[in-house]
Amino acid sequence: MRDRSYQEELIHLIKRNNALITLPTGSGKTHIAARIMQQHYLPQLQAAKASKQPAKALVFLAPTNPLVAQQSAMLRDCYGISAKAYHGDAAAQSISTWHPQRWAEELASTDVLVMTPEVLLHVLAHGAAQMRNIGLLVFDEAHHCSKDHPYAQVMEDFYHTAELQHRPQVLALTASPLGLRGSTKKRRKGKGGGAAAASLTAGWDLQQRLAAPLLTVLPELREDMLACVPFPTNLSAPYDSSPPAWVDNSAMQRALSRLGDAQEQMMAPAKRVSWC
């Protein structure tokens, strides 16, 4: 797959630096992650495996089981990258028994480990791997990294507690970096300077949690991006606003009138009862 102009510019800017990429849905955020892997990690990873040297893992996180399956399939089918999916309760239970040798075996069998954050938490919590064993950490739908979400736990409990030289590159992808529930909570409590200020604060907090500055398309390339993004089409469905046919039906009108009279008669005894 070819790089679009705005993707090429972002790939060049990111290289091996942390970044929070914000682009509209359908603009190819996963493509940028795949290119970063292909250009900066996979050659060294494959060379290390060939020489039987220790290699750092490429971990791609997605918040749900379907997204894990979808992204691992996309990396394999569209980019020819060896990717394996780890998700679900069964995977989490299995991983709780892993040891460092098993992690090395999994890494030897694939180039990219695509998993839910819960699975990675099991790996890290049970000591099968450490942050120093990961070279690139991708967060899909990164706006979920808030409050007690497993994304936030990965960053707070393991990334930010690791020594600087042992932290992997973080590449976070989102279409809505400011749409955080936290901003809504602040706004309801009356803190900050209104909705816009709360949203900006939430966006800044997200960058801090992910240790990644926000990057998006340069203004001069925005038109190229918009030409590639599928936008929904609004359609109008006309309807007949005239009264329904039964309004002019005298038989229906009489039936409704009798029904109303019967209801009044049924309620009359209840109205005459006086309660002491």
Q: How far apart are CA 48 and CA 56, in angstroms?
A: 9
pTM for the full predicted model = 0.75
CATH number assigned to the domain comprising residue 202: 3.40.50.300
Task: Give the number of domains in the chain.
Answer: 1
Instruction: Name the residue range of residue 200's domain.
Output: 5-228
Asked whether residue 28 is domain-assigned, the answer is yes
Asked whether residue 250 is domain-assigned, the answer is no
Model confidence band, residue 242 (pLDDT cutoffs 50, 70, 90): confident
Is residue 4 left, alpha or beta, with left meaning phi > 0 and alpha meaning psi from -120 to 50? beta
Model confidence band, residue 192 (pLDDT cutoffs 50, 70, 90): very low
Asked whether residue 244 is domain-assigned, the answer is no
Asked whether residue 251 is domain-assigned, the answer is no
pLDDT of the residue at 203: 64
Q: How far apart are CA 55 and CA 103, in angstroms?
A: 11
Asked whether residue 265 is domain-assigned, the answer is no
Read off the pLDDT of each residue in 144-157 and give the average, rounded to a whole number.
Answer: 94
Q: How far apart are CA 215 and CA 250, in angstroms?
A: 68
- Please give the mean pLDDT across all residues of the chain: 83
pLDDT (tens digit per residue) in 48-107: 988 988 889 999 999 999 999 999 999 999 999 999 999 876 666 677 677 888 888 888
Read off the pLDDT of each residue in 166-195 and give the average, rounded to a whole number.
Answer: 63
Asked whether residue 266 is domain-assigned, the answer is no
Name the percent of the chain lying above pLDDT 70.
81
pLDDT of the residue at 92: 61
Least confident among 12-16, 49-53, 264-268: 264-268
pLDDT (tens digit per residue) in 103-143: 888 888 899 999 999 999 988 998 888 999 999 999 999 99
Are 31 and 38 within 8 A, CB to CB? no
Asked whether residue 215 is domain-assigned, the answer is yes
Asked whether residue 258 is domain-assigned, the answer is no
